[in-house]
Structure formats: structure tokens, C-alpha cells
Amino acid sequence: MDNYKDISYLKNGSAKQKLAYNVLTKINVFNALKQYNPILVGTIPLGIDTDLSDLDIICYVFDFNEFKQIVIEHFSSFDNFKVTNKRENTVIRFLVDDFQIEIYAEATPTDKQNGYRHMLVEDRLLKLGGELFKRKVIELKNKNFKTEPIFAGLLRLDGNPYEELLELEDKSDEELIDLINAKTEIKRIVNPIKDRLIWITGLLALISFVLFIGDSLFNDNQYFTIDVFLYLPYLILAGLIISFYSRGIAKALKTSLILLFLFNITWLFSILAFLENKISLGEFSSVGFIQYIETLLIIGIFVIPIIIFIRTKKNRLTK
């Protein structure tokens, strides 16, 4: 995932990530170390940081003496500046605006270093595991557990947690979801491709409610209260779908999708009958723009759940 190699993603992230971006750009660390292909790794890029989290930067270095001279030139004036030399790596630490910054250098390309590889695996697990999985990771981070042992522990991986996580690099999304489902109490939907369709379905239902109520309010406010009652299931089911998806509750999510699909069929037949009547009377040109949009929304809410069902069934057959 190359987007981690450019820290601009931090600008649109959490409050902590925005602060990190401001600090890193203020000290110009990535330009100063540009020749060493620096990458920010660790918990802050993943959004699972705590108050004690460092800004960890990895570098690809051959000439460690030259590297140390550059680092000293640019950063030795900062508080708590310290250089630690080991046989195969060098670590630089200093403090900027309450952020502890750690620069780790070794003679391995940064995208091949374990810190970056671990982060990519953890990023996939967080996305596939859903909000509950992420919350559990943050909860354990706040208890001062190390990141890699947290992931290995949640997935019940035996052996060295740092090595075991790297074994997951080549696993497919489906395999990782199966691992999460089998090893944790957190259940996720099997096919991540359809996740976007689920969000779209919930969003369409929410937009439908707003549009229908707005149309009723401005054009037929005599029956506004009745219309609110009739269209309310769109709002309720949209909220349930988005909530259950975010929390990874598959069975309740499936039920909500089915209820929305069945409820929407009534409105689909109703609006198609309305359009057919307009066509038969030669009044199709009188159909308003809003009614076109309403029709498309209702058709979308009818078609997308069918696609989700087909994808789910196909995925089961191929497993």
C-alpha cells in the first residue's frame, strides 16, 4: 500500500494524525532524510495509537557515519536527542512538541523492513476485522501491550508474534477473514467486495427518506405526518444496516437488508404503477425531476441487495 509512503494522508486523519503531520512537516524530517527513503510506521499511521505512542520513522542506510552526521546536523538541537549505535542498526531519538520521535536505520530497503511489513498486515487486519476488532486492539494498547503481540494474541497465533504476523502477508482477504472468524469472538462478513454495496444500500435508504420527506413537506404538506410514518422504515433500516455493518454483526445485518428489500418492493410497485399511469395518459412529461430521482433510488435499493445475495451465494459455492 504505497499511500503510507507519503505522509499527506495524515492531514485528513484523526486529531492525533493531524498533529503528527504538523510536527513532521515543521521539522522537515522527510526532506532531510529523503535519500534514505523514510517511511512513518507504527500505531499512529494505523489510528490505534495511545498517549504514549511515538512517531517511528524507518530509513534505508548503508553509510551509517554519513547518516548520523546528517541527523545530528538537523535534529541535535531538539530536546532529549540521543543516538544509539548497534551492530546492524542505528536509532535516533528526540522530542518535539510532546511527540517522541524515533528514527530507525538499517541496511534493508524500508519497504522490506519488518516495521513496514508488520504495519501493512495490521492495516489489512484492522480493515477486515471491523470496528469491534479495532476497538479491542486499542483497548489492549491502552493497557500498554505491544502492538504485534496484541494482533497475534487476538488471532491466537502460536510462536513468535513478530514472525507469525509476517506469515499472514500472502494470505488473501478471505483467508484473513476466516482466521478472524475462527480465532476471535468477532465475526465479519465473508466477502469484503460486497461491503461497499452494503454501505451504498444503507446510504440510498437514508437519502430516500430525506428526499421523500422533503418532497412531501414542500408539495403535499397536508399529509406530511402520514408520509413521515410511511417512509420511517427507510430511516430506521438505513441506520440499522450502517450500525450492524460497522459493528460486524452479520446475522442482524442480513435481516435488516432483507427487511429493507421487502419494504422497498411495495414502493417499487407503487412508483412503477404511477409512471405507467402517467405514460398511458400521455402525461409522462409532467413527471418531476425529484420523482425521477426517487425512482432511481428505489430501483437501486431493489437491485443492490440482489447483487449482494448473488455474490454471497457465489462466494459460498467457490469455497
Residues 274 and 234 in one domain: yes
Please give the pLDDT value at position 111.
93
pLDDT score recorded for residue 250: 65
Q: How many CB atoms lie within 10 A of CB 182?
A: 10
| Chain segment 74-114, per-residue pLDDT in tens | 999 999 999 999 888 999 999 999 899 999 999 999 999 99
Instruction: Report how many domains make up the chain.
Output: 3
With H, G, I as helix, E, B as strand and everything else as coil, classify residue 101. Answer: strand
Helices (H), the chain: 15-26, 29-32, 43-46, 64-75, 114-141, 147-154, 161-166, 173-183, 195-219, 224-247, 250-280, 289-318
Percent of the chain past pLDDT 90, that is, above it, reads: 41
Answer yes or no: do 307 and 232 share one domain: yes
Are 212 and 297 members of one domain? yes
Higher confidence at residue 312 or residue 265?
265
CA–CA distance, 119 with 58 (Å, rounded to integer): 12
**Which of 112, 134, 154 is a domain's end point?**
112
Asked if residue 215 and residue 273 are part of one domain, the reply reads: yes
What would the mean pLDDT of 57-84 be, rounded to a whole number? Answer: 94
Domain ends where: 80, 112, 144? Answer: 112
Q: In which domain, by residue range, is 313 found? A: 192-318
**pLDDT tops 80 at residue 53:** yes
As a whole-number percent, the residues of the chain with pLDDT over 70 amount to 82
42 and 130 in a single domain? The answer is: no
101 and 170 housed in the same domain:
no
Do residues 162 and 198 share a domain? no
Q: Which residue has the cell 530507525?
A: 104
Give 294 or 239, the one with higher predicted confidence: 239
**In what helix (H) or strand (E) does residue 82 lie, and over which residues does it extend?**
strand 79-85
Q: Are residues 139 and 228 in the same domain?
A: no
CA distance 285 to 283: 5
* 215-226 mean pLDDT: 66
What pLDDT is stored for residue 222 in this prediction? 62
Residues 139, 227: one domain? no
Residues 292 and 202 in one domain: yes
Label residues 45-77 b or e (16+ Cβ within 10 Å = b): bbebbeeebebbbbbbbeeeeebbebbeeebee
* pLDDT one-digit tens code per residue, 105-150: 999 999 999 999 999 999 999 999 888 889 899 999 988 889 999 9
**247 lies in the same domain as 174:** no
The residue out of 93, 112, 131 marking a domain boundary is: 112
Q: For residue range 173-206, list pLDDT tens digits in order.
A: 889 988 888 876 555 544 443 457 787 888 888 8
Q: Which of 3-17, 46-60, 283-297 has the lowest mean pLDDT?
A: 283-297
Unique residue bearing C-alpha cell 480465532: 183
CATH label of the domain that carries residue 65: 3.30.460.10
Name the grid cell of 226. 402520514
What secondary structure does DSSP assign to 22-60, as a single string? HHHHHTTHHHHTGGG--EEESHHHHT---TT--EEEEEE
Q: What is the pTM of this model?
A: 0.60
Model confidence at 284: pLDDT above 50: yes
Query: Does 148 share its domain with 105?
Result: no
pLDDT at 165 over 60: yes
What local confidence, expressed as pLDDT, does residue 276 receive? 76
Supply the pLDDT for residue 212. Answer: 76
pLDDT band at 58 (very low <50, low <70, confident <90, very high): very high
In terms of C-beta distances under 8 Å and separation of at least 24 residues, what long-range contacts does 211-219 make, across chains too? Answer: 211/290, 211/293, 211/294, 211/297, 212/294, 215/290, 215/291, 215/294
What average pLDDT does this structure show over 221-225? 63
